[in-house]
Amino acid sequence: MTLRVAVVGSGPAGFYAAGHLLDSDLEVEVDMLERLPTPWGLVRFGVAPDHPKIKAVSRAFERIAAQPGYRFLGGVDVGKDLTHDDLARLYDAVVYAVGAQTDRPLAIPGEDLPGSWAATELVAWYNGHPDYQGLEFDLSVERAVVVGAGNVALDVIRMLALSPEEIRPTDTTDEAIEAILGSGLKEIVLLARRGPAQAAFTTPELKELGELADADVLIDPSELELDPASEASLEHDTNARRNVEVLRGFAARPASGKRRMIRLRFAVSPVAILGEGRVEAIEIVRNRLVAGAGGGVRAEPTGEHETIPCGIVFRSVGYLGVELPGVPFDAGRATIPNDAGRVAGAPGVYCAGWIKRGPSGVIGTNKKDATETVDRLVEDARAGRLHRGDPEATADTVEELLEARGVEHVTYEGWEAIDVEERARGEAQGRPRVKLVTWDDLRSAARRIAAS
Ligand code: NAP
Looking at the fold, whether 118 and 91 belong to one and the same domain comes out as: no
C-beta 196 within 6 A of ligand 1: no
Task: Quote the ligand 1 centre to 180 CA distance (angstroms).
Answer: 23
pLDDT band at 104 (very low <50, low <70, confident <90, very high): very high
Task: Quote the ligand 1 centre to 151 CA distance (angstroms).
Answer: 6
Last residue in a domain, options 268, 283, 317 = 317
C-beta 145 within 6 A of ligand 1: no
Determine the Cα–Cα distance for residues 415 and 160; give it in Å rounded to an integer.
Answer: 30
Identify each DSSP E strand in 310-359 by its residue range.
312-315, 319-320, 338-339, 342-343, 349-351
DSSP 330: B
Model confidence, pTM: 0.97
Nearest atom in ligand 1 to the alpha carbon of residue 318 is 26
Looking at the fold, whether 225 and 116 belong to one and the same domain comes out as: yes
Q: Which domain holds residue 284?
A: 104-317
Residue 452's pLDDT is what? 57
Q: What is the mean pLDDT of residues 415-440?
A: 96
Share of the chain above pLDDT 70, in %: 99
Last residue in a domain, options 295, 317, 339 = 317
C-beta 144 within 6 A of ligand 1: no
- The H or E element containing residue 249 is helix 238-252
Task: Quote the ligand 1 centre to 216 CA distance (angstroms).
Answer: 23
Q: What is the mean pLDDT of residues 436-446?
A: 97
CATH number of the CATH domain containing 222: 3.50.50.60
Looking at the fold, whether 158 and 92 belong to one and the same domain comes out as: no
Pairing state of beta strands 281-291 and 297-309?
antiparallel
Per-residue pLDDT for 450 more than 60? no
For 198, counting Cβ atoms within 10 Å of its Cβ (0-12 exposed, 13-18 middle, 19+ buried), the class is buried
Looking at the fold, whether 67 and 52 belong to one and the same domain comes out as: yes
Per-residue pLDDT for 421 more than 60? yes
Residue 309 lies in a domain: yes
Nearest atom in ligand 1 to the alpha carbon of residue 148 is 7
Residue 255's pLDDT is what? 86
Q: pLDDT digit string (tens) for 117-149?
A: 999 999 999 999 999 999 999 999 999 999 999
Q: pLDDT digit string (tens) for 273-332?
A: 999 999 999 999 999 999 887 778 899 999 999 999 999 999 999 999 999 999 999 999
Share of the chain above pLDDT 90, in %: 95
Looking at the fold, whether 152 and 269 belong to one and the same domain comes out as: yes
Residue 352's pLDDT is what? 98
Q: pLDDT digit string (tens) for 345-366?
A: 999 999 999 999 999 999 999 9
Task: Quote the ligand 1 centre to 356 CA distance (angstroms).
Answer: 17
Determine the Cα–Cα distance for residues 419 and 436; give it in Å rounded to an integer.
Answer: 9
Looking at the fold, whether 263 and 336 belong to one and the same domain comes out as: no
Domain count, the chain: 2
Looking at the fold, whether 326 and 299 belong to one and the same domain comes out as: no
Nearest atom in ligand 1 to the alpha carbon of residue 46 is 43
Looking at the fold, whether 398 and 283 belong to one and the same domain comes out as: no
Terminal C-alpha separation, the chain: 35
Per-residue pLDDT for 112 more than 70? yes
CATH number of the CATH domain containing 368: 3.40.50.720
Looking at the fold, whether 137 and 223 belong to one and the same domain comes out as: yes
Determine the Cα–Cα distance for residues 233 and 164; give it in Å rounded to an integer.
Answer: 40
Looking at the fold, whether 345 and 302 belong to one and the same domain comes out as: no
Residue 449's pLDDT is what? 66
Determine the Cα–Cα distance for residues 183 and 186; give it in Å rounded to an integer.
Answer: 9
For ligand 1, atom 3: residue with the closest CA: 318
Looking at the fold, whether 250 and 292 belong to one and the same domain comes out as: yes
Last residue in a domain, options 317, 341, 368 = 317
Closest alpha carbon to 99 in 124, 82, 117: 124
- The H or E element containing residue 376 is helix 365-382
What's the CA angle centered on 101, arms 414 and 82, to 5 degrees? 55
